[in-house]
Structure 1
């Protein structure tokens, strides 16, 4: 994974948008973002490492999602647009990249700057409940990711707005990172 500040220039969201300003791991950690690189091997040993993270964090369920233009057909553009809307979840968002690559952008608090995280195969990222973020593919237009869940699989985005700003999960997130 590579993390840097988003350049905020107009253009295709799937481009790097690299400001040239690297983001240190400690900044991501202070925001509650966790990251592991677990190389994918032909023998499937990576599954043991992913299982260990899942057990440690209490994840009980998982599925695999593949996002491609061919796979989503006519829904491709609308899905990419919805993933790229700034939002939060009331649960952690956990993704282990099995193939392809993409970007998770997270809001830095209190600056409100975007931090762009470029993930590829073998990267596992955990975004805490309550953090504002968004997702997009990169120029390769393909990603295959394992999604992990503490309970039944669900993915409910709460788009940023006045109501979401006072959501209890958002408030708890802000209290948690203020302590760090």
Structure 2
């Protein structure tokens, strides 16, 4: 099964809606890979003893793992947290999320600074590279259960845009976008 992604129609409608253009402009997994976004589809019912997940974790050095149930009933200050997740930012490290239940959206910027919306649903494991501008929101179901993976100890620090001088952003622009640092 392939990941579902498309260029967003930007407007002020509820952030939890699909925001597809009319007609939709889909983005392939190859286009996402060109931006450094990695994807696997796994069996979410086997996550505790999944040899494929264990192999990915070992090969990529994902030594830390925890779970996050994100919904209004389980998260204090839910609306405020969702708003914070939806603020455009980068991280100094990869962001690795494995959807076990529910669904939501990761939005990433392409080389032309356009938003690409990526739907994640059970079985989707996504890796966003350090330095990529992104944001996250739930969809209208208002529920997702995620496994969060990290190399070493977790770092939760988002750096809100603009971050042109952040080392992770500079590295991303240079290596993934193939652009001079001054151009982006």
Q: Tell whether the structures are fold-level matches, with TM greater than 0.5.
A: yes
Q: Report whether the alignment pairs 1:106 with 2:108.
A: yes
TM-score normalized by the length of structure 1: 0.93
Aligned partner of 2:166 in structure 1 is 167
TM-score normalized by the length of structure 2: 0.91
Q: 1:103 to 1:44 in 2, by over 3 A?
A: closer
Partner of residue 26 from structure 1, selected from 30, 41, 58: 30
- Residue correspondences, number: 175
Q: CA shift at 1:131, angstroms?
A: 0.3
The structure carrying a bigger helix percent of its residues is 1
Q: Which string of whole-angstrom CA distances, capped at 9 and with x for unpartnered residues, describes residues 44-96 of structure 1?
A: 576321111111111111000010001114x0110000000000000000000
In the alignment, structure 2 segments of 5+ residues that lack a partner are 180-184
Aligned partner of 1:61 in structure 2 is 64
The structure carrying a bigger strand percent of its residues is 1
Q: CA shift at 1:179, angstroms?
A: 4.6
Counterparts of 1:90 and 1:158 in 2: how far apart (Å)? 8
Q: CA RMSD in A?
A: 1.5
